[in-house]
């Protein structure tokens, strides 16, 4: 508990640093939100009035203290390009990002961990070489290029995937809102038509988003497994005649799990960043596409809110990873 309390306290200066840096960066970037909102042909008097209503006519330090005061009240600001509060926009879009991120993480786990184990147990054989080549390609190919290529191939040429225009077909109503996750809500409400359509729309962007994390998880799992397999107790277990599946699955994998858990947690945090590009390419109505629209509109509040939210998610995931590692390996509890 003391370790968790120390980690929670350590989050405070980290979040303060994120708040200060993001506030300053949004203010020094080129572009005038008032002019963007009013239009290029608007007279200067109209632009000045919008700047006053946005509070941009105040000195920078006053804008900062006002922003921090709003944060303490739970007010993330107002999105001028949507005409709604940022907290309402995020609440309506965040479930879509969570659904896409979780799906990508599940794909990465189901492929990356077995691939890493297989590569480690078949070291220097053709399976290992193929796995390493695929991992290198997956980690190095840009998400936007893979996404565009996937749309061209599977939608444009093979017609296996639906049009990349949202989470569900236009001729279907979304499932009854329960959690905001279309696949889960379709199952809970028994809407099979919505379930089929939402899964079809989810598969391709989830695979594209999962490509990089799958490669990283496979490489790190292979590295951790190779280190564990080389230990004396593994050779002893093998010499005693234990089945290979028991040696690998029970002894080796268990001791390699902390490394894998760490990289999985970090990759889930980075999926938020990758979701910005993936959602934009597939017209996925999540937080990522919302932030892209906010940047193009020079709308400060949504960008600041997303950065703060991503920082909180990343810090919480790191804390959970440390807790899981302490459970998997008691030696790290007091580190």
Give the tokens for residue 212: 């990089």
- Give the SS3 label for residue 79: strand
* Whole-structure pTM value: 0.83
Q: Where in the chain is the domain with CATH 1.10.3720.10?
A: 89-332
pLDDT of residue 32: 73
pLDDT of residue 333: 54
Report which of 174, 201, 32, 181 is spatially closest to residue 98, judged by C-alpha positions. 181
pLDDT of residue 328: 67
Report the number of secondary-structure helices (H) and strands (E) in the chain: 14, 2
Q: How far is CA 182 from CA 32, 186, 202, 262, 284, in A?
A: 37, 6, 10, 29, 12
Taking only the tens of pLDDT, the chain with its 335 residues reads 566 777 778 788 888 888 888 888 877 777 777 777 777 777 888 888 888 887 878 888 888 888 888 888 888 888 888 888 999 999 889 899 989 988 999 999 999 999 988 888 888 888 888 888 888 888 888 888 999 999 999 999 998 999 888 899 988 889 988 989 999 999 999 999 999 999 999 999 999 999 989 998 998 888 888 888 888 888 888 787 778 788 887 778 778 888 788 888 778 777 776 778 888 899 899 888 888 888 888 888 888 888 888 888 888 887 887 777 777 666 555 54
How far apart, in Å, do the first and last CA atoms of the chain sit?
Answer: 13
pLDDT of residue 1: 58
pLDDT of residue 120: 87
pLDDT of residue 152: 94
- CB contact at 8 A, 304 and 67: yes
DSSP annotation of 39 reads: -
pLDDT of residue 300: 83
Please give the Cα distance from 247 to 135 (Å, whole number): 25
Query: Scanning the structure block, which residue is given the tokens 């699955």?
Result: 249
CATH 2.90.10.10 assigned to 89-332: no
Give the tokens for residue 70: 């709003």
Please give the Cα distance from 14 to 311 (Å, whole number): 9
Residue 109 neighbours by CB under 8 Å, 6+ apart: 217, 264
């Amino acid at each position: 508990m003391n370790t968790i309390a120390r980690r929670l306290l350590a989050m405070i200066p980290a979040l303060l640093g994120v708040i200060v840096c993001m506030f300053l960066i949004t203010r020094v970037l080129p572009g005038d939100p008032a002019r963007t909102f009013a239009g290029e042909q608007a007279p200067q008097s109209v632009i000045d009035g919008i700047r006053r209503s946005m509070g941009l006519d105040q000195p920078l330090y006053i804008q900062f203290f006002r922003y921090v005061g709003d944060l303490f009240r739970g007010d993330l600001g107002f999105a001028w390009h949507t005409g709604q509060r940022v907290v309402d926009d995020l609440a309506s879009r965040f479930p879509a990002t969570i659904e896409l991120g979780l799906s990508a993480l599940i794909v990465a786990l189901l492929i990356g961990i077995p691939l890493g184990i297989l590569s480690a147990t078949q070291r220097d054989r053709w399976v290992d070489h193929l796995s390493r080549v695929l991992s290198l390609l997956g980690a190095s190919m840009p998400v936007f290029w893979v996404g565009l290529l996937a749309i061209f191939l599977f939608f444009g040429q093979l017609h296996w995937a639906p049009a990349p225009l949202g989470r569900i077909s236009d001729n279907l109503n979304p499932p009854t809102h329960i959690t905001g996750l279309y696949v889960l809500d379709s199952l809970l409400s028994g809407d099979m038509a919505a379930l089929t359509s939402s899964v079809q729309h989810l598969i391709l962007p989830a695979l594209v988003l999962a490509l990089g994390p799958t490669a990283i998880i496979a490489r790190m799992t292979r590295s951790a497994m190779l280190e564990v397999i080389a230990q004396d107790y593994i050779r002893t277990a093998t010499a005693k005649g234990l089945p290979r599946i028991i040696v690998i699955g029970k002894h080796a994998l268990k001791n390699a799990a902390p490394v894998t858990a760490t990289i999985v947690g970090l990759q889930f945090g980075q999926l938020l960043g990758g979701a910005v590009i993936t959602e934009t390419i597939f017209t996925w109505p999540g937080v990522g596409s919302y932030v892209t629209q906010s940047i193009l509109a020079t709308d400060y509040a949504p960008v600041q809110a997303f950065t703060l939210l991503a920082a909180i998610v990343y810090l919480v995931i790191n804390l959970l990873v440390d807790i899981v590692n302490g459970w998997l390996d008691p030696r790290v509890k007091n580190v």
